[in-house]
Structure 1
């Protein structure tokens, strides 16, 4: 699917994403970030004695001396294919490298379709999944989690917009906002609007577009004031094009906080070691370096947790 054509919305990891074909994803990223297969600037980490010590006794990895990670390449900056159309790059791939380094193991990334990762993980095809998986209470019944990033939605306005901040419901009163139908962001937007109207504030005008080019034109021409959608994707586009700016973020699980996490087999014991690894990476700064590399600094967490509270069952 090429940029400017109609897009199809689907829910991935508890948030809405816009899938792009390989060619479109590569074209979108080629001028801003290194998508080469070699990844010469990939950040590495030292071994973590604490993380290695936290590995469960007798734990059997999928492959000797290797940390095998399942990953679904879907869109930059989270994960996508390099210019060779087979090497996986992006934030999740870089985080997987840091974790494998800290455990003193080689990294092997195994591409997997989103619908297939639960069964593949349960069967032992790989040791863990790093693929933008949001922690939910339903998933916690079957898997363990080590949190590593906020699940965030973002408000983006034209770079020279007078809108400086959107943090709560009253900030959107009277605005014209583009969002994605049938998603968490639409639900949040409509709930905020309902609250505003009940308090006597001006209603919003919600706009929906199937075409990314038309959406961008609406913002740049002044027909819409802001876009409310997946933060990671919009942050990447803002960095690439320089035409929009972040004016506010909201948890993808609002009013609850939602987090994205490394996913492991339930009861395997690997989650505690991965959580220890992540907290070491947070402390030594490597974690934030990788976030900043992919323009995702606003989604940083201060501490990783094993099996944090997840979004409730619906």
Structure 2
């Protein structure tokens, strides 16, 4: 009897050894409402450029993904509280954020542009592309809360009449309805969700691209808690591979009629 039990135990151990190991699951934090970067479809599926990037990373490092929806201003605190393992949410790499968390290499550009009414004929910037503070006087300025755009506006236009929003959608709706005069946001999102639609036909960009590294950093990256050097190295390797093989360019053109990948990143790893 003991002999039979021993054989059965050995068989179970052997079978377990033959079974494929279950892939590790990484929890990914994102807003889930920031189309076309990360959002839920009407069917409840996650979609968007950030989602494709996260899936590309997972495929290359051999992990599964679990998406966690989180409001923007609580994104870093939630990561630090271990509510998820990564931030893949179009988060710009800035020195202030790098004091709290680590970032991967950039996977897309990071910049902002200001929108306003075509009829207003606004001249807010000089010939060198610098804001003219007095030109903003009397304008109600929509800004997303806890964003790099807010940091830029506070530094460059301390006297601006700011209206804070918990996302781009309500801000653009208020711009459309005349509750604010101008708004600053991601130009890619603004183009696809607003300017190219009928409700945005009376508006235009009233600023040049604003991409000062001091405020917007070198680009958008994956955020993770400090001390995860091994995971960070894997993510960097995966992103560099996607840059080199054209995957990020493909993801970009899936959502935008233009590239959102800086040309100088294409040579990574060469």
With normalisation by structure 2, the TM-score equals 0.62
> Match of 2:23, SS?
coil
- Paired with 2:81 and 2:155, the residues of 1 have a C-alpha distance of 37
> Match of 2:92, SS?
coil
- Paired with 1:291 and 1:82, the residues of 2 have a C-alpha distance of 18
Contact 2:32/2:38, CA 8 A, preserved across alignment: yes
1:91 and 2:49 aligned: yes
Deviation at 1:250, TM superposition (A): 0.5
1:68 maps to which of 27, 34, 50: 27
Larger Rg, first or second structure (1 or 2)? 2
- Paired with 2:152 and 2:103, the residues of 1 have a C-alpha distance of 24
Contact 2:32/2:69, CA 8 A, preserved across alignment: yes
> Match of 2:224, SS?
strand
1:277 maps to which of 199, 219, 238: 238
- Paired with 1:287 and 1:294, the residues of 2 have a C-alpha distance of 11
Deviation at 1:67, TM superposition (A): 4.1
Contact 1:178/1:209, CA 8 A, preserved across alignment: no
Write 1 or 2 for the structure with the bigger share of helix: 2
Aligned position for 2:211: 251
- Paired with 1:175 and 1:142, the residues of 2 have a C-alpha distance of 33
Aligned position for 1:78: 37
1:107 and 2:74 aligned: no
Deviation at 1:286, TM superposition (A): 1.6
Deviation at 1:169, TM superposition (A): 1.7
Cα-to-partner distance string for 1:129-155 (whole Å, 9 max, x where unaligned) = 212333343443442211323332113
1:234 and 2:194 aligned: no
> Match of 2:209, SS?
strand
Gaps of 5+ in 1: 1-62, 195-204, 305-314
With normalisation by structure 1, the TM-score equals 0.54
Distance 1:279-1:172 versus aligned 2 partners, 3 A rule: farther
Distance 1:213-1:128 versus aligned 2 partners, 3 A rule: closer
- Calculate the aligned-residue CA RMSD, in Å: 4.2
> Match of 1:266, SS?
coil
1:154 maps to which of 109, 113, 119: 113
Cα-to-partner distance string for 1:243-287 (whole Å, 9 max, x where unaligned) = 244462112765663532201221212112212211221222221
Deviation at 1:71, TM superposition (A): 2.2
Write out aligned runs for 1:165-314 (5 A): 168-169=129-130, 179-180=141-142, 183-187=150-154, 190=157, 212-213=172-173, 215-216=175-176, 227-236=183-192, 237-241=194-198, 243=201, 244-246=203-205, 248-251=208-211, 254=214, 257=217, 259-269=219-229, 270-295=231-256, 297=258, 299-301=260-262, 302-303=264-265
Contact 1:157/1:227, CA 8 A, preserved across alignment: yes
Gaps of 5+ in 2: 1-21, 166-170
1:129 and 2:87 aligned: yes
Distance 1:234-1:256 versus aligned 2 partners, 3 A rule: closer
> Match of 2:89, SS?
coil
Distance 1:296-1:117 versus aligned 2 partners, 3 A rule: farther
